[in-house]
Amino acid sequence: MNDQIIILIFLIFTFAGTMFLYLWKAKKQYDYKNDERWQVIQNRANGSANCLNWILVVFIAISSTIPFFHEIRLTFTFSRVMTYSLIYFGIRNIVEFFALLYFDKKI
């Protein structure tokens, strides 16, 4: 039961972060009138968030080769995989939000 509570907390946290990201981006896009500076900030923040995609690819590559060397049997349900993917995309959106904040102050 404890793992379900932790997953629920992560889901709520990442959902709130995703919603806040999209609302904040819409506000800033309206404030900056979608000028070149804002587009550069968004491109840099998106590049920072895409680093998580590379980390995910490396993690999947490493975890898919482990069963070749050790006898490990893991079964995941489809709903659990979907839940983890929602958490991953939420974390990616939170990273993008903090990158937007950083580059907005820096540039």
- What pLDDT, in 10s, does the model give residues 44-61? 999 999 999 999 999 999
- The residue-averaged pLDDT of 16-38 equals 95
Q: Where are the domains of the chain?
A: 2-106
- What pLDDT, in 10s, does the model give residues 68-105? 888 888 788 999 999 999 999 999 999 999 999 999 99
- Taking the C-alpha atoms of residue 38 and residue 47, their distance in angstroms, rounded to an integer, is 14
Structural contact between residues 17 and 97, judged by C-beta atoms closer than 8 angstroms: yes
